Structure 1
């Protein structure tokens, strides 16, 4: 199978190793840094045998990579997806599968707007979470995969294709694929867009952007009760929204259920003990004097500006109050020196840079529901 991987981060490296190790696959890579990649990527598998994935072609030119691809997987930040989709749109072949790992951030709306879905029978899918936890150890050459998931939930824009993509991904990734009911189960997923901001707020809420710390704390191992309490409140606000949407969204489990916990104390214990999270540091960067908050981290840009804020956008559309989510957004936008939320509404001057639903001509609950009803 001819597979195109778009991106250059942890998941892109891992996918090349996982998919390129199978000689029946031809893996192509579209990346901004083609000269920094070797022809083989090694996956150091902490749970089993290492893998060596072959790259047949690597380029920053979509016209060289995308034609003839039967499957295209985006493994890049939410804020980079629209420009990437525009870049590859002229070269996507008839009947191609195109998906994102993961898919929150209005990926489905971007594809609907910029790809000739009906004309070329392009089939869109996305995962709710990433297939593995990994960290690049040597760019373009090696990645350490600390944990590969046993299963992954996936959704298609057209439900008629759910079984086909589930079988395909299950075979390629050697894992159970759980089909979701509606793309909103990815769009409104309470994974990173809720998880990371809750922890960052509890960790950094009393800090200034230029305040220096002696060391960078672990993100999960030092997770505290306040982080869990904020996370639970935001998760409850999202589920208040889900109750207003008349679709089967049972694929979005309450986070307490997802982490097999019943209260904030148990959730804290759970998150501090997950082996795959061990050693992951907080979004800070090293300077001569110590460490300061890294405002360019994906935890801020992707999980807040293109994650939590887009959830807020949908909540506002359905007139759902989100006091805790608002509290976290107000804090984050002050650090980022952005003007998004004004008096509880996304009407700030910097909202123009976001992928809000207005930019996709969706301005009412009826228009919103109509899109996802037809999906």
Structure 2
């Protein structure tokens, strides 16, 4: 981003928890000049709420409140071209199931030389962005995870930045080719300044490595699987702080399969415990075991499980939660597809995906096999289609 020294035109695309806190972080940082900070959402209700906002208040992890955070404008859905075209960096922070629709609406308007930045950039973001950008010389950047824990308090008015990861890895490409070392250095410096104090560093590999990195597909799914086996429950348990050993074992098994695939591709990852320490070292009180990295993590404190209460008062897994509708088809299934394409066997993933098929009424595998079915409507509706 050659324009970084003069100031950047940034558009935040999205309007959820992360978008609120990213707006606050971008306004609060003092290392990178901004020419403008605007928001674009495809939801008319979100556009109207932001347009009426008199300012955002963001509570920091320390408890300090940062008031009167303002945008320079809200881009109208009906005529977004000029303002999207003027953006130097478009920060895409939307749920995985919305990525395809968002990119199909945004990419036709971006200019040559701009940056499309998915945070997070896993879940098929980078491949999907390349599909919609085509041969246009636009840099696509994606992080392995979301670098913050964010909670919306009152829409377009207040949010809570619960915690931040220490560092964040990303991959970048232009025209389907890895960016130059000079461009990579520029991206690292600019992103680290924009989202200070999170430090950004480049990842060995590309889009596949972003998608394979052990993240929510390892963190959420084993806990859901364990809770499903134990339901119905008398109360809604703490999600991360309640992690039990059998669920930790499944997490490690899943992460080992992802490690096996990434090793095959030439870019092995650290084990799951090292991943947790890399991102949450200063938030974890007891790092003696992988389980304690979850149960004593201040960033995860107090968060309940995605469950719903039945009429009899018992709690059961909510299969409509984002943990299901994102982490299965837009994360675990993509890992399976990369493994399948590279002839790496994934029996644990197969078991979990089959469980999800039955539970959600979906069809991902060819009947009688553990191979992804490219003709299945459920596969075609997921970004995994870009991997087959």
TM-score normalised by the chain length of structure 2: 0.84
> Structure 1 unaligned runs (5+)?
364-375
Per-residue Cα deviation, 1:150-194 (whole angstroms, up to 9, x for no partner): 221122123312111111111111132111122232121111122
- Select 1:46's aligned residue among 61, 64, 67: 61
Contact 1:156 1:182 in 2 (8 A): no
Pair 1:288–1:16, CA change in 2 (3 A): farther
Per-residue Cα deviation, 1:331-369 (whole angstroms, up to 9, x for no partner): 22222111113421112552221222xx43x65xxxxxx
Mapped pair 1:218 → 2:225: no
- Select 1:238's aligned residue among 258, 267, 270: 258
Deviation of the 1:60 alpha carbon: 5.2
1:371 maps to: none
2:372 maps to: 346
Mapped pair 1:182 → 2:195: no
- Counterparts of 1:243-262 in structure 2 under 5 Å? 243-245=263-265, 247=266, 249-250=267-268, 252-259=269-276
Contact 2:29 2:195 in 1 (8 A): no
- Counterparts of 1:221-370 in structure 2 under 5 Å? 221-245=241-265, 247=266, 249-250=267-268, 252-259=269-276, 266-285=289-308, 290=313, 291-341=315-365, 342=367, 343-347=369-373, 348=376, 350-356=378-384, 359-360=385-386, 363=388
Mapped pair 1:12 → 2:13: no
Deviation of the 1:94 alpha carbon: 2.5
In 2: Cα distance, 1:167 partner to 1:17 partner: 19
Mapped pair 1:145 → 2:145: no
Higher mean displacement: 279-288 or 330-339: 279-288
Pair 1:318–1:222, CA change in 2 (3 A): same
Deviation of the 1:64 alpha carbon: 6.1
Deviation of the 1:253 alpha carbon: 1.9
Deviation of the 1:102 alpha carbon: 0.9
Equivalenced residues, count: 349
Mapped pair 1:105 → 2:123: yes
Deviation of the 1:111 alpha carbon: 1.4
Per-residue Cα deviation, 1:26-72 (whole angstroms, up to 9, x for no partner): 21111212122224222100236433432111245143641211111
In 2: Cα distance, 1:39 partner to 1:190 partner: 39
RMSD of aligned C-alpha atoms?
Answer: 2.3
Structure 2 SS opposite 1:330: helix
Per-residue Cα deviation, 1:169-222 (whole angstroms, up to 9, x for no partner): 111111321111222321211111221111111111354xxx6x4432110111
Contact 2:29 2:193 in 1 (8 A): no
Pair 1:329–1:60, CA change in 2 (3 A): farther
Higher mean displacement: 35-44 or 16-25: 16-25
Mapped pair 1:34 → 2:47: yes
Mapped pair 1:68 → 2:83: no
Higher mean displacement: 62-71 or 317-326: 62-71
Pair 1:154–1:48, CA change in 2 (3 A): farther
Contact 1:39 1:56 in 2 (8 A): no
In 2: Cα distance, 1:297 partner to 1:41 partner: 27
Contact 1:29 1:65 in 2 (8 A): no
Pair 1:295–1:36, CA change in 2 (3 A): farther
Pair 1:215–1:64, CA change in 2 (3 A): farther
Per-residue Cα deviation, 1:284-311 (whole angstroms, up to 9, x for no partner): 2456654443222211111111100110
In 1: Cα distance, 2:300 partner to 2:262 partner: 29
Higher mean displacement: 226-235 or 38-47: 38-47
In 2: Cα distance, 1:105 partner to 1:219 partner: 22
